[in-house]
Amino acid sequence: MQKISTCLWFDGQAAEAAHFYTSVFDDSSMGKIMQGPDGKALTVEFEIEGRQFMGLNGGPSFTFNEAVSLVVNCDSQEEVDRYWDALLVGGQESQCGWLKDKFGLSWQFVPTAMSGLLSGPDPAGAQRAMEAMMKMRKLDINVLQGAYDGD
């Protein structure tokens, strides 16, 4: 068990969200579901890519906002596209590789190449890559690399 894990507050959709998230990410699994006094799921434990989460059906008092997001480091454009397309269903695109899924949770899809493009040895290239990223919704590694290279 992780010493620190993440609790996500839902308004009755914790089990649905957990099943959805575990269907999107390969190395994922469902855990215990604790029932509340009404017989419905109160908490739902699940794991995504080795990280433990708990979904809590806490009611409508709190909702997600962009102050907290889950960052997914992606090794390829195919991986960015796959996660983006899956989590965008019923959700909403934002800028610079961010989206909100259908439950309102914010996600960032960051190509692992980004750190080299934004802090590489060519400051002008890094600036061009940053400017290109600021115009994007879903990040495109080839376009970012082209911007860095000055293409």
DSSP SS3 for 99:
strand
The phi, psi pair for 9, rounded to 5°, reads: -90, 125
Interacting residues of 65 by C-beta distance below 8 A, sequence separation 6+? 106
pLDDT tens per residue across all 151 residues of the chain:
789 999 999 999 999 999 999 999 999 999 999 999 999 999 999 999 999 999 999 999 999 999 999 999 999 999 999 999 999 999 999 999 999 999 999 999 999 999 999 998 999 999 999 999 999 999 999 999 999 999 8
Angle at 93 (CA atoms; ends 91, 94), nearest 5 degrees: 130
C-alpha span between 44 and 56 (Å, rounded):
7
